[in-house]
Structure 1
C-alpha cells in the first residue's frame, strides 16, 4: 500500500494568509507573445536538457521562454514528489502550451504562467515491458513570476531565468502562493476559456468567493489546495488526452445518487481544439480528447483516513474488524453504482489470458529492477498461469467494470459525526497509462489493494501476534459480501491480483523507500508459497 499517507486533513502545512478575491480581467493579456503576437499557444520544439548538451534554440512563439527555463526545470523537476521519471535523466523538453493566467503588475504583484510540457527521458523498465512506450510524460506546471520572492515562499523557488521574456525575474511553484492559488478558484467559479484552457462548473453548484487557500504539503503524485475547509482542488501533474478517472467516475457516481464519493463541483482541462476548431496543442490531433488538469470537490472536513485510523487502533491495542466490515460494505456499494453508471465487459478466455500476460510482464520488469524478487519469479508465475487457465474451465464468464483502481486505506475517509465511510482519489495508479486506467477491470483488483493495505498497516503499526491483519481482511470481505458477491469465492482471481499488487509494491519501495521493502517482500514470500502449494 505504498501510496498511503496521512490524509489531506492531517498533513502539515504552512501558515495561511487571508486575502480578498482577485479581480480577473477577461480576456487576460498575453505579454509572453509580445504586442500583436499570436496569444497563448504552444511551442512544438524540443530543447535538450543539460544531460543532452548545450540547449539549442527552438522555433515557435514561446521559444525564448522554453530555452530560458530548460536549465531550471532540468534541475527542479526531478526533485518534485510527483515527477514520475525518477532515476532516469531528463534529456529534453517540448513545450506544448504556455498560457498567462495573470500578468505580473508593475507594483510587485506576482504573475501566473500555466505550462504544459513533455519531459523526454530514456524508457523505464515498465515502458519496455509495454513494447517500448515512449518516455515523454506530459506535465502541468504553474509558475509564479515576481521580482523578489517573499521569504515565506523560499521553499517554492524554481529559479531566475536568463534571457527570454522572464529574464531576471524569479519563478516559483505558484500553488504555494495564496494569492495565486486564489486565482485558480476564481477561474473555476466563473466558467470560461483562456487559450487552450477551459474552465467548467456544474450548473447547480455555487462556489463562494474569497475562500482562504492552504497548500497540502505531503502528496506524491499530484498537488492539492484546500479552500476555506470547504473545497479541495486537486491538480494533476502528469496528464494526457482523455478524461481523468478522478473526474469521470465521481461524476458518474453522482448521477446514480451514490453518496459514498464527493461529487465534483468544477474542473478545468486543456482542449486540443481551438475556438475555431484549429489545433491548439501540437502533437495532439484536434479530435483528441481534452486533458483533465484539475478537479474541485467538496472537502470532507472532520474526517480521518483509514490508514491513520488503522494505525491509531494498533497503537491502542484495538482491533479493526468493525471498521473493516463497514469499509467493505462501502466499497461494494461503490462497485455496484459504477456497474450501473458505466459499461461493463466480459472476462472470457482471451481477456483472462491477456490480464495474466500483463501481470507476468510486470513481474519480469520488477524482477529485472529488484534482485530480491528474482528467486520468487517461478512460483509467482504459477498464480498468473492459474488465472489464465480460468478461461479454459467450464462455467459462466466473469465480469469487468470500472473500479477505483488504487484502493487502499489512505483513499478511504470516515467522518467523525456519523462514522460513515467515503472513497476518494479515483485516479488509479498514476504510473499506469491513462487509457489502461480507464478500462473495465475485475473488482478483485480493488479488493486485493485493500487486503494489501491491511498488511501494510499491521507491519507499520507493529501488530502483535494474534492475526490483526487476517481478522481485518476477513471482516472487509464479509462486509463486501453482505452487499455484493463474496470475492473469496473466486480465489485464483483474487490471489493473482494480490500478487500483482505486491509486485508493484516491491518495485515502488525499492525505488522510493528501501527501508520499507521488507513489508511487500513478506507478502511475496507468503504468496509464492501459496502458489506453489496450489
Structure 2
C-alpha cells in the first residue's frame, strides 16, 4: 500500500465537502468547515491509481473516513459499483492466514481477520444509518465508518467474546481493517456475513405492527419475534459476562450520572419535562456494586435482522453508540443499558407506525399501543427467563432499566437535532408515554422488578 499524500492532498483542496459524504448525509456535509486537512491516505488497490481511502479533518476538528475516487481534478466519495468495498475485501484476503481473529499488517494497513473469500459486485443499503453499508457479491457487508478514530474500538473485543462463546445469534464476522495515520492504527471498516433475504427491525417490525393495525394479521403473529429477541439478547450478555465482569465503583456510577446529565442538557427539553427526567436520572448514582460487563452499547430493533422466509433472527453492529466517545464505548456497563435501549426502540416502532400510516381510527391506534406494551413484556419475560436458566439473574439490575430508558429518549432528541430532524416526533411521543406510565400503569421497569422479586422470593441470588 502507498501513502500518496502528494497526489491526494492537491485534489482535496479542490474538492467540495459534500462530495466526501454519502448523499443522504447532505445536512452533515453542510456543516463541514474548510480548510480540510488530510490526516492519512492509502491506495485501496495497487492496480488502480484512482481508488483511495482518506481520513480528512475539517476546521472544527471533525474527522471523516472517505473511500474515494479521483474525479478530474478533485475527489468524490466512492459509490457502490466503484470497487472500493471489493478492494477492501482484497486487503482482508491478504491478511493473516493463521488463527482466526489474529492481526496482521500489509504496509500501512492493519487487518484482524476471521474469514475471507473472493467477492465481486457491489450494492448499497438505502437506509438511515450513521455509517455506510455496502453489500459485496451478496456474500459480505462492508461497513465504512463515517468517523474513524485512532482510539481503541469495542467491536474487536465484543466479536472475539462472542466467537469464544460460540454465540450463533450474530452474522459471522469476516474482519476489521485499519490504516496508520502516522501515530496509530485507525479502524476504517468492518466486514460481516451478508444475511440474504433479511430486513432490519425498522423494516420488519414496522411492517408487522402496521399489518396488525390494519387488521391484516393478529397480535400473536405480530409479537412472534419478541421472545426470540429476548433470549438472543440474554445469550449475548451471557457470552460477554463469560469473558469478564466486574462490580461498579463509585466513580463509574458517578460517570453514568455525568453522562446522563449531559444528555439531558443537550436534549433541550422543556423545563417541566426536564425536571421530571432529572429526578429519575439522579437515581443512577445509588447503584454502586451492580454487575457490569461488556454490552452491545447501541442495541435497538434496527440491530436485529430477520430473514424471510424462516424468521431467523440475528444481532448486528457491535461498534457501540456513535454518539459516545471510544472510551465510553469500551467501558463495561450494566446489562440494563442494552435492555433499556431495546425497550425504547419497541416503543419507537409503534410511534413510527402511528405517524406514517394514514387514516388509522381509534381502534387501530389502540392496537398499536397494545402491541408496544405486549412486545416489551414479551421481550423482558424471555430475556429474564434465559438468564434464570443460566443462574445469572443478577446480571440485570432492574432498578437501572427505567433511568436508562429515560436517558435513551434524551439521546434520541440529540440524534434528531444533529442528524435526522424529522425523527423528533418519536422521542416526543415515547418520553411523554414513559413519564405518564410512572403514575398511571406498571412500567417496563416495574415488570422487571416484579420478575426479579419473584426470583428473590425463590432464593435466587
Question: Which of 209, 212, 230 lines up with 2:139 in the alignment?
Answer: 230
Equivalent positions of 1:270-349 (< 5 A) are: 270-271=179-180, 281-282=181-182, 284=183, 288=184, 290-317=185-212, 318-319=218-219, 320-341=222-243, 343-349=244-250
Question: Which of 469, 472, 492 lines up with 2:399 in the alignment?
Answer: 492
Residues 419, 78 of structure 1: alpha-carbon distance in 2 compared, 3 angstrom cutoff: closer
**Post-superposition offset of 1:252:** 2.2
**Post-superposition offset of 1:335:** 0.6
Q: How many equivalent pairs are there?
A: 411
- Point out where structure 2 has 5 or more consecutive residues left out of the alignment: 96-103, 213-217, 355-363, 441-445, 447-461
Residues 464, 174 of structure 1: alpha-carbon distance in 2 compared, 3 angstrom cutoff: same
Checking the alignment, whether the CA contact within 8 Å between 1:347 and 1:399 is kept in structure 2 is yes
**Post-superposition offset of 1:78:** 6.5
Q: Does 1:389 align with 2:286?
A: yes
TM-score by length of 1: 0.70
Checking the alignment, whether the CA contact within 8 Å between 2:89 and 2:116 is kept in structure 1 is no
Write the distance in 1 (CA, Å) between the matches of 2:14 and 2:116.
42
**Post-superposition offset of 1:67:** 4.5
Aligned to 2:169: 260
Q: Does 1:364 align with 2:265?
A: yes
Aligned to 2:76: 172
Aligned to 2:358: none
Q: Does 1:183 align with 2:108?
A: no
Aligned to 2:70: 145
Q: Does 1:239 align with 2:143?
A: no
Q: SS state of the match for residue 482, structure 1?
A: helix
**Post-superposition offset of 1:362:** 1.5
Aligned to 2:412: 505
**Post-superposition offset of 1:99:** 1.9
Checking the alignment, whether the CA contact within 8 Å between 2:148 and 2:188 is kept in structure 1 is yes
Write the distance in 2 (CA, Å) between the matches of 1:511 and 1:237.
15
Say which one has the larger Rg.
1
**Post-superposition offset of 1:210:** 4.5
Q: SS state of the match for residue 96, structure 1?
A: strand
Checking the alignment, whether the CA contact within 8 Å between 1:178 and 1:212 is kept in structure 2 is no
Aligned to 1:196: 108
Aligned to 2:374: 471
Write the distance in 1 (CA, Å) between the matches of 2:410 and 2:283.
17
Aligned to 2:157: 248
Checking the alignment, whether the CA contact within 8 Å between 1:332 and 1:483 is kept in structure 2 is yes
TM-score by length of 2: 0.80
- Point out where structure 1 has 5 or more consecutive residues left out of the alignment: 1-27, 31-39, 42-60, 122-135, 148-159, 162-170, 272-280, 392-396
**Post-superposition offset of 1:183:** 2.3
Residues 314, 75 of structure 1: alpha-carbon distance in 2 compared, 3 angstrom cutoff: closer
Write the distance in 1 (CA, Å) between the matches of 2:13 and 2:71.
19
Write the distance in 2 (CA, Å) between the matches of 1:189 and 1:362.
41
Residues 436, 183 of structure 1: alpha-carbon distance in 2 compared, 3 angstrom cutoff: same
Give the aligned CA root-mean-square deviation in angstroms.
3.0
